[in-house]
Amino acid sequence: MIDPTLAQSRQSRLLAAMDRAGIDAAAIVPGANFLFLTGVQFGLMERPTVLFVTRAGERHAVIPLLERSRWRAAAPDVETAYWQDADGYDEAFRAVAGRLGAGRRIGVEGQRMRFFEAQALRAAFPGATVTDAHAAISHMRLHKDAGEVAALSRAIEISEAALAATLASAAAGMSEAEFRQRLVAAMLEAGADGPSFEPIVLAGAASADPHGTPSPQRRLEKGKPLLVDYGAAFGGYAADITRTFFVGHASPEHRAIYEAVAAANGLGHAIARPGMSMDEYDRRVTQAMKDAGFADLVVHKTGHGLGLEVHEAPQVMAGNMQAMEPGMVFTLEPGLYRDGDIGVRIEDDLLVTEDGARSLTGFSRALTVIG
């Protein structure tokens, strides 16, 4: 159960977002938004679980009976319709619909609510308009408060300590899978709740695949890169960090690619500030790599929001005219990728402040040779 004052503040953010979006009620399924409002971590499963919040601030829920004890302890003030497997969930949805009334405009998380949940919603609210309000609902998490920044900072601190410990034993001949296993173990030993996502550990030419999968067959080789994209979870919040190393030595061409990415990363640290659009930020960071002669090796945007989810708003990309605002946290991750040869990405987690941005990550960005 989250602090009542904090819970009220968070719900107020949601109500303001709903008012701007013109929706009468929000239907929220387990995930980051559900956790943010209730402090309860339910997983998406075959049993529909939905929290309804009206513009008047009323809260109702459809909850599986087997979760009743945990839900009552966390959300005693929520009017809840429980259902059990033998009876099905239709009556629970109808009970909530009867309390909320017909003719409403209901906003759902279009990127998270599944088809069968939306169907149950439409069946229970035949007179309602069901619309995608994912962006509006998630907007309440856009600006991080001091507690959230503290959790993110701790997740990052754990992550960086784990990477340092893992690198101490890394050497040519170690497999990507073994490095990954050691990294996850080090995060857990340092106090992580677990990894925030499956770590990406890619050696040699495999590093040119930005989201490749670690292999027990591929091994660290002298003169080849090692890309590590990973993060620890702490208190529900996710770190997301990438560093690229070289085993034994780095060729002049590989050094040039690395330095171009490092320069773009450095520029991103220097120019981030309130009022700058994500569009301008992405274009300037990307242009730095293009100006260095590597335009053909740019394959992705500059970053994304970070918090309870590894990828959330704001998207740091061309075309997003949203302005940076104090309290936003996003990744800065310029990268260059040459198929069959090398991938280099340097990713930091930045907090927008009143007059600029502060890096929550501190792990060295200098070209580093290991093993």
CATH of the domain at 15: 3.40.350.10
Helices 90-100 and 115-124, axial angle in degrees (round to 10) = 50
Domain end (from 141, 157, 191): 141
| 212 and 67 co-located in one domain | no
Q: What is the pLDDT of residues 273-320, one digit of tens each?
A: 999 999 999 999 999 999 999 999 999 999 999 999 999 999 999 999
Quick one: pLDDT band at residue 3, thresholds 50, 70, 90?
A: confident
Strand, helix or coil at 15?
A: helix
Domain end (from 141, 176, 210): 141
Domain end (from 119, 141, 163): 141
Q: What is the pLDDT of residues 232-276, one digit of tens each?
A: 999 999 999 999 999 999 999 999 999 999 999 999 999 999 999
Q: How many folded domains does the chain comprise? A: 2
Q: What is the pLDDT of residues 82-105, one digit of tens each?
A: 999 999 999 999 999 999 876 689
**Cis status, amide bond into 314, omega within 30 of 0:** yes
Taking the C-alpha atoms of residue 269 and residue 263, their distance in angstroms, rounded to an integer, is 10
Taking the C-alpha atoms of residue 108 and residue 50, their distance in angstroms, rounded to an integer, is 10
| 154 and 134 co-located in one domain | no
Range of the domain at 24: 4-141
Taking the C-alpha atoms of residue 212 and residue 198, their distance in angstroms, rounded to an integer, is 11
| 118 and 151 co-located in one domain | no
